[in-house]
Amino acid sequence: SAPILLSDYRAPAWQVEQIELDFDLGIDATQVRSCLRLRRDSTQATPLCLDGEGLELLTIMLDGQLLSPDDYRYADNVLEIDHAHDGSVLETRVRLNPAANTALEGLYLSGPRESGFLLTQCEAQGFRHITFFPDQPDVLASYTVTLRADRARFPVLLAGGNPDGAGDLDGGRHWARFVDPHPKPSYLFALVAGRLEKIGREYVTADGRPVQLVIWAEADAIERCHYAMDALERSMRWDEQAYGRNYDLDVFHVVATHDFNMGAMENKGLNIFNAKYLLADPDSTTDDEYRAVEAVVAHEYFHNWSGNRVTCRDWFQLSLKEGLTVFREQQFSADMNSPALKRIEDVALLRRAQFPEDAGPLAHPVRPAEYREINNFYTATVYEKGSELVRMLAGRLGQAGFRRGMDRYFEHNDGHAATLEDFLGALGEANDIDLMPYLAWYGQAGTPRMKARGHYDAAQHSYTLTLTQHTLPTPGQAHKRALPIPVKLALFATDGRMLPLHLDGHSNALGDEHVIVLEQAEQSFVFRNIDAAPIPSLLRGFSAPVILDGDYAPTELALLLRHDIDGFNRWEAAQQLASRAYDALRDGGDTTALTAWCDALAELFDDELFADDALLADLLSPPGEIELAEREQVVDPARVHALRQELQQRLGARIGAGPLLRRYEALAAQTNRQLDASSQAQRRLKRRVLELLALIDAPAAHAVAAGQYQDAPSMTDRLAALAVLVRGNAPQATLALAHFRERYAGDPLALDKWFSVQTQLPGELTLARVQLLAGDPAFTLKNPNRVNALFGAWARSNPAGFHRADGAGYRWLVQQLRPLDALNPQVAARLATVLNGWKRLEPVRREAARSAISSLTTGPELSRNLTEIVQNILG
């Protein structure tokens, strides 16, 4: 199919002012009647065309007249209708089969047919699987939705908007109606019907509106929704305080399902969540997962303004809602938890998921210029890099200026479908600043590489910092422009003091931290009144999403690691030092960096005054294998793994088994299942200490881990212990895995962890175990969480286990993609992206990967989703 181009965008010739939807719900057959009141743009002569996919068309009526097949054409998923005019009312009736919908897009069944429930997923283009409609986000309509169903089978009937009546019907059936007063695009429509339990809470918004908050889940899960309810309330308060945004309906429903393609969905008034991001209790949820639940609940709630009240003009603008909402979610999580840890977590994710995407054949701008399948563009680039771009703008405007700009953005675009230009325009106009140069970031793929070189002039007492930038070509974009790169910086003296900044071109002193903006390919910045060569702390807080080459001596990084008061940059110094240590191990050269890294961390480890256990755990963790592989021209994943293991062994040995064990015991003495920051930090550090111990004294660590597994009061401790046993291929792993399987047999989310943890077996053992697990009765290709727990965890989190030298891993994964694609194209396409980096593999693996991926280009036709990914990956 031909690509869809941003440059082809035209405002719709037909709008839908009002839609009335009537559902007659059934598992195998659901009838949908839709009634559209149409409005025509008189300047365009385009005929009325509606999207519709996989619909069994029953009847069409235009202005009360039944249409004959001569009056319309339904082909290639488009229904074209003759004789419609401004003010026409179009009624269509269609039939759907929810139970047969394995793609989980449109109306589908979650769970077994006897007891499962019906739900919808419409973003990005699922509504066309429900009824005929101009299924694009710039068509905003008012929705009235009536649901009818058997009361015993579907006791709960929900749709977005406010409730507007309910009652009994003949034959044991009932009905419920919902009216949404806010015009919305079709992707925000939702319904849910089935046997669900609820928990509820009254909430009063800052502007005085009483709101019923209700979370729905199946009976066995409802008691695990309380944490999410608390998180929802925190999110609502936070958005009122931080952005002045109030909720705008009388009800806010949230529903949990185990069958979902993504994390969650912000349908107006009826959010639907993957159970993984809603259910939580200490026995089955790790600390990281608790934080993820809080973040995703907040994210979906924040969409009510950034996405729903102000939506996207077209799907090219996806980051307008996603990048902005990720940013708002990150701010919220930072406020609820530790800002430094949150920043570390977010940057680590960016580097692990987005930088490789931006450096490979799937690289695309935050605002892509074209796509074939929009579902393939819910990427780390659109989400995470998109958020970084908003962060740069927020940093440029300062807190008050950004708030002013956001107020203007919401006010000017409320109820409209907006563009990124509208966003930058509103932020800029409210502050009298031209932000349009930042638009270049949205159109250019690839991660800029920024070099920093310092020169100290003792005679002049000046320090000149020269910054250069360069972005490598990406597919379809050979030439790159210089981008505005804000660099937040400080200068340190060798005794660890921060120096006051006197920058040429600024008459007044700037304090000890300042943001300079690199706007050209090369620029120099001169700092005065400096008495000795300083050590620059650059990109503080990761002020721009670039790769920095800082030309530091190891001792300088060690100094920043010890003295920088920016928690993020402290961690960053440790990461840089570890990367240099890694290079030293690989190249067999100078070991200064390795020694400096080990010494600095051993010193911190012993420092009783260093009280931040969670930060210490992060400092003690070198970059992951994916990030380290990004440093290589040619990647041998087994070698990257071995070198990283050796790096950690050196660190463990430098600290020493005795101190590690003693620290472990001290931390273990405080073991509990509380969720406060210090209890979480204790578990995080305990895990890291145990992992280091396992690398230098495996039997001792495995004995400790086996004990921890047995006594663990929380899933965090239990899973950490299990992971150490499995990764170390310890004899105790077998029993622990069997126990885990039995204990959590009835809990799908915990069972997912049982699958995932086993994908972390080292090296050559992995594939056979993954194959065995794929044959387990609990494994199914129909459930996205299970597929991701097995195939995704294997290919993404165990590169050395996935990238076997004989290519068997690639061949086997590719074999799974075909049947998966037949069931669920979105999940298959996303899984295929794990092969993104094949071109940089060493020659033997590269050829094996190329051949495996190419095998997908012959044989039965693949979905549009998977075809696009395969074609782009092959390049």
Write the DSSP string, 409-458. Answer: HHHHHTTSEE-HHHHHHHHHHTTT---GGGHHHHH--SPPEEEEEEEEET
Pick 602 or 823: Cβ nearer ligand HT7: 823
Contacting range for ligand HT7; rule: CB under 6 A; set: 147-155, 299-307, 662-670, 808-816: 299-307
Does position 294 bind ligand HT7 by CB under 6 A? no
Please choose, out of 155-163, 316-324, 437-445, 714-722, the segment that lies near Zn ion by the rule CB under 5 A.
316-324
Cβ atoms of 217 and 279 within 8 Å: the answer is yes
Site string for ligand HT7, 668-697 (x = CB under 6 A): ------------------------------
Out of 265, 594, 647, 720, the residue judged to bind ligand HT7 by CB under 6 A: 265
Smallest gap from Cβ 440 to ligand HT7, in A, equals 25
Nearer to Zn ion, 382 or 560 (CB): 382
Q: How far is the CB of 311 from ligand HT7 (least distance, A)?
A: 11
Q: How many CB atoms lie within 10 A of CB 522?
A: 12
Say which residues have a Cβ less than 8 Å from residue 611's Cβ, sequence separation at least 6.
none
Spatial contact of 705 and 725, defined as CB atoms under 8 Å apart: yes
Please state, in angstroms and rounded to a whole number, the distance separating the CA atoms of residues 46 and 14.
8
317 binds ligand HT7, rule: CB under 6 A: no
**Residue 139 contacts residue 117 (beta carbons within 8 Å):** no
Least Cβ distance, residue 299 to Zn ion (angstroms): 5
> Pick from 719, 711, 673, 612: which is nearest to 227 by CA?
673
Is 299 one of the binding residues for ligand HT7 (CB under 6 A)?
yes
Residue closest to 80 by CA, chosen among 57, 107, 106: 57
SS3 track for 152-200: CCCCEEEECCEEEEEEEEHHHEEEEEEEEEEEECHHHCCEEEECCEEEE
Q: Does 378 bind ligand HT7 (CB under 6 A)?
A: yes
- Strands 417-418 and 311-312 turn out to be parallel
User: Least distance in Å: CB of 97 to ligand HT7?
Assistant: 20
Bridge partners, residue 61, by sequence: 66, 91
Q: Which is nearer to Zn ion, 270 or 489 (CB)?
A: 270
* Neighbour count for residue 748 (Cβ, 10 Å): 19
Annotated catalytic residue, options 300, 345, 373, 388: 300
Closest alpha carbon to 423 in 520, 318, 550, 501: 318
Among ligand HT7, Zn ion, none, the one that 124 touches (CB under a kind-dependent 5 to 8 A) is ligand HT7
Give the contact letters, 324-343, x = binds to Zn ion (CB under 5 A), - = no.
-x------------------
> What residues contact residue 11 under an 8 Å CB cut-off, 6+ apart?
41, 138
Smaller CB separation from ligand HT7, 388 or 572: 388
DSSP state of 2: P
Q: How far is the CB of 780 from ligand HT7 (least distance, A)?
A: 19
CB of 826 to ligand HT7, least distance (A): 6
> Is residue 261 a contact point for ligand HT7 (CB under 6 A)?
yes
Instruction: Look up residue 7 and give its two tokens.
Output: 């440059």
Q: Binder to ligand HT7 among 20, 22, 266, 287 (CB under 6 A)?
A: 266
Residue nearest to ligand HT7 (CB): 262
Q: Which is nearer to Zn ion, 22 or 346 (CB)?
A: 346
List all residues 6 or more positions away from 203 whose beta carbon is below 8 Å from its beta carbon. Answer: 210, 211, 212, 213, 233, 236, 247, 252
- For the chain, the straight-line distance linking the first and the last C-alpha, in angstroms and rounded, comes to 17
Residue 322 in contact with ligand HT7, rule: CB under 6 A = yes
In angstroms, the Cα distances linking 659 to 574, 644, 681 are: 21, 22, 18
| Residue 622: DSSP 8-state | -
Question: Is 79 or 297 the residue whose CB approaches ligand HT7 more closely?
Answer: 297
Distances, alpha carbon 270 to alpha carbons 63, 191, 196, 311, 329, in Å: 32, 8, 14, 17, 19
d(CA 864, CA 875): 16
Considering the complex, what minimum distance in angstroms separates the CB of residue 749 from ligand HT7? Answer: 18
Q: Which of 375, 381, 419, 714 binds ligand HT7 (CB under 6 A)?
A: 375
Smallest distance from ligand HT7 to CB 204, Å: 26
* CB 176 within 8 Å of CB 191: no
**Residue 300 annotated among the catalytic residues of the structure:** yes
Contacted by 255, from Zn ion, ligand HT7, none: CB < 5 to 8 Å by type: none
Give the x-and-dash track for 58-97 against ligand HT7 (CB under 6 A): ----------------------------------------
The CB-of-197 to ligand HT7 minimum distance in angstroms stands at 23
Residue 153 or 299: the one with the smaller Cβ distance to Zn ion is 299
| Residue 79 interacts with, from Zn ion, ligand HT7, none (CB under 5-8 Å by kind) | none
Q: Do residues 287 and 679 lie in contact, with contact meaning Cβ atoms separated by under 8 Å?
A: no
Pair of tokens at residue 583: 């290079």
Nearer to ligand HT7, 600 or 820 (CB): 820
Q: How far is the CB of 379 from Zn ion (least distance, A)?
A: 12
- The set of residues, in sequence order, having a beta carbon less than 8 Å from that of 95 and lying 6+ positions away, is 29, 30, 31, 32, 55, 56, 58
Altogether, the residues listed in the chain come to a count of 875
- Minimum CB separation of residue 378 from ligand HT7 in Å reads 5
Comparing CB distances to ligand HT7, the nearer of 617 and 862 is: 862
Contact range with ligand HT7 by CB under 6 A, out of 259-267, 509-517, 612-620, 685-693: 259-267
Residue 805 beta carbon to Zn ion: minimum distance, rounded to whole angstroms? 39
CA 324, CA 331: separation in Å to the nearest integer?
A: 11
Write the single-letter amino acid at 709. Answer: Y
Considering CB distances under 5 to 8 angstroms, the limit depending on partner class, which of Zn ion, ligand HT7, none binds residue 145? none
Contact code string over 104-133 relative to ligand HT7, x by CB under 6 A: -----------------x-xx---------
Q: What is the CA radius of gyration of the chain?
A: 28
- Between residues 299 and 309, which has the closer beta carbon with respect to ligand HT7? 299
- In the list Zn ion, ligand HT7, none, the entry touching 378 (Cβ below 5 to 8 angstroms by class) is ligand HT7
Nearer CB in complex with ligand HT7: 353/692: 353
Q: Quickly list H helices, 337-434.
A: 339-349, 355-358, 380, 386-413, 420-429
* Cα(529)–Cα(52) distance, integer angstroms: 69
Phi, psi of 260 (to 5 degrees): -150, 140
Binding mask 809-848 for ligand HT7 (x = CB under 6 A): -----------------x----------------------
Quote the CA–CA distance of 513 and 867 in Å, as a whole number. Answer: 49
> Which CB sits closer to ligand HT7, 324 or 667?
324
Question: Among 215-223, 256-264, 421-429, 685-693, which window interacts with ligand HT7 (CB under 6 A)?
Answer: 256-264
Site string for Zn ion, 276-315 (x = CB under 5 A): ----------------------------------------
**Rounded least distance, CB 38 to ligand HT7, Å:** 27
Count of residues engaged in binding ligand HT7, rule: CB under 6 A = 15
Q: Which of residues 693-752 bind ligand HT7 (CB under 6 A)?
A: none
Task: Classify residue 634 by burial, with Cβ atoms within 10 Å: 0-12, 13-18, 19+.
Answer: exposed
Distance CA 568, CA 680 (A): 19
Footprint on this chain of Zn ion (rule: CB under 5 A): 322, 325
The residues assigned a catalytic role are: 300
Footprint on this chain of ligand HT7 (rule: CB under 6 A): 121, 123-124, 261-262, 264-266, 299-300, 303, 322, 375, 378, 826
